[in-house]
Amino acid sequence: MNQKYVIFTDLDGSLLKHEDYSFDEAKPTLAYIKENNIPLIFTTSKTKNECEILQSQMDIKAPFIVENGAAIYYPDGTIEQLGLQHHQIKEFMDSKVEEFQILSFSNMKISDIMEYTLFTYSQAQCAQNRDFSEPFLIHDERRLTELEIEAERHGMKILKGGRFYHCVGINQDKGLAVQSALQHYKGRVSIGLGDNYNDVAMLKVVDIPVLIPHHEGGYIDFELENLIKAPFKGSLGWHEALNKILL
């Protein structure tokens, strides 16, 4: 491998299978990435605790980007924050619960989170312990535009993920976080992999964008001139796409 790479990857529905969060089908590629010292940077809606657990399971030591670009955590303990604090977002969302019939993560029982996500109890606890964003469900998605306008008035925006919408600070997204992290990897070719609309900003700023089919099997409505479309969904598609790029 003559070229030096850095990889930014979404987790749920990309490196992790949507159905059971496994990454078994990606293990050969993960081994290759480790052997060749390629930085693998999680770029996810997941929390710090969730990322740390997955890094431990995959034996990865690299920065990671949490909660849709809210912050970058570096191995030396440095934290670069781009998003708003969770209490600011929660205050706004709580004020809109009745008007928009919103069910926020913070207001869910752990058993509810387990039902919606198929997480274990401990996984659901980690997911609920957020620092910079608020996942939520809205009863009538036709009112989402109204909520987006209200969020913007308060310095926030709404992103669509695989299972939930996410309320975040207006100046944060995966693309901005990736651009910031790339300052530490000058000279490397950047690869980005994702499957959903909250990954679009990331895919737009990397050298090699890879779109993975979403959990229903199709692709989101997104095109780029140099976009690579993975042949399969989840970790198998992640593995196949990276194999063609890296090998």
Catalytic residue among 10, 131, 195, 199: 10
CB atoms within 10 A of CB 57: 9
The pLDDT tens digits for 107-149 are 999 999 999 999 999 999 999 999 999 999 999 999 999 999 9
- Residue percentage of the chain with pLDDT more than 70: 99
Helix or strand run (H / E) with residue 149: helix 144-153
6, amino acid identity: V
Q: Is the pTM of this model over 0.85?
A: yes
Mean pLDDT over 211-221 rounds to: 93
**Catalytic residue status for 131:** no
The pLDDT tens digits for 156-183 are 999 888 789 999 999 888 999 999 999 9
The pLDDT tens digits for 69-92 are 999 999 999 999 999 999 999 999
Q: What is the pLDDT of residue 1?
A: 53
Architecture per CATH, domain 5-81+173-246, reads as 3-Layer(aba) Sandwich (3.40)
Show me where the domains of the chain are located. 5-81+173-246, 86-169
Fold of 86-169: Threonyl-tRNA Synthetase; Chain A, domain 2 (3.30.980)
R_g over Cα of the chain: 17
**Among all chains, which residue has been given the structure tokens 């920065």?**
63
**Does pLDDT of 36 surpass 90?**
yes
